Amino acid sequence: MKTLSGLVIGAFALTSVTAVTPALADGHGHKHKNLMMQIEKIVKNKQHAKLIHDRRKEMRALGGNMKKIVDYLKHGKGGPNAVAAAAGAIEVIASKTHSLFPAGTGMDNYAGITGAKTSIQSDNAGFKAAADELATLAAQLKKVASSSGANKGQIAAAFRSVGRMGCGGCHRTYRQKLKR
């Protein structure tokens, strides 16, 4: 089994923390408004603007929940119960992710302000499957973290799958990283 330090210096753990830092700052009203203002500058359709805003916030919430799990695995903050709660929150978001990416709201219309690739529409079943995969892996992590005999190594292994196959499995194909 891999050591815990092997986990925390793993590529996902690092990128998730850097991806999440601005997301945490965004939890405050001021920055929150900034994202909406940035979006509305480019996206004139109000419904589309709100949708892109809300789904980017949901994605950041995924990052925030992943960070909570890293806090436990890397810093010993919280415990398996907190991990299970975070995994449950990830599962809930994953189960609605597909509905947050309707046709006409992706990069083909709004380049620069959304990272939703056109492949989401051209391979919508694959995109849905990727969201389902995250929900399944998050449910597994929740189960491992909730079981009475759970040890850190098992939780770490389930967490790695969530990051690499859940988040990464979708991002590799369907997401373009935006410039900050």
For residue 28, how many C-alpha atoms fall within 13 Å in the half-sphere facing its CB? 5
Asked if 23 contacts 63 with a C-beta cutoff of 8 angstroms, the reply is yes
Is the CA virtual torsion 70, 72, 77, 83 positive or negative?
positive
Provide, rounded to whole angstroms, the least separation between the CB of residue 156 and ligand HEC: 15
- Per CB under 6 A, which region of 1-9, 16-24, 79-87, 140-148 contacts ligand HEC? 16-24
- Per CB under 6 A, which region of 3-11, 39-47, 142-150, 165-173 contacts ligand HEC? 165-173
Is residue 114 close enough to count as binding ligand HEC by CB under 6 A?
yes
C-alpha distances out from residue 95 to 16, 52, 177, Å: 20, 17, 22
Give the Cα separation of 105 and 92 in Å (integer): 22
Is residue 116 close enough to count as binding ligand HEC by CB under 6 A?
yes
Site for ligand HEC, rule CB under 6 A: 16, 19, 23, 52, 55-56, 59-60, 62-63, 66, 90, 97, 114-116, 127, 130-131, 134, 162, 166-167, 170-171, 174-175, 178
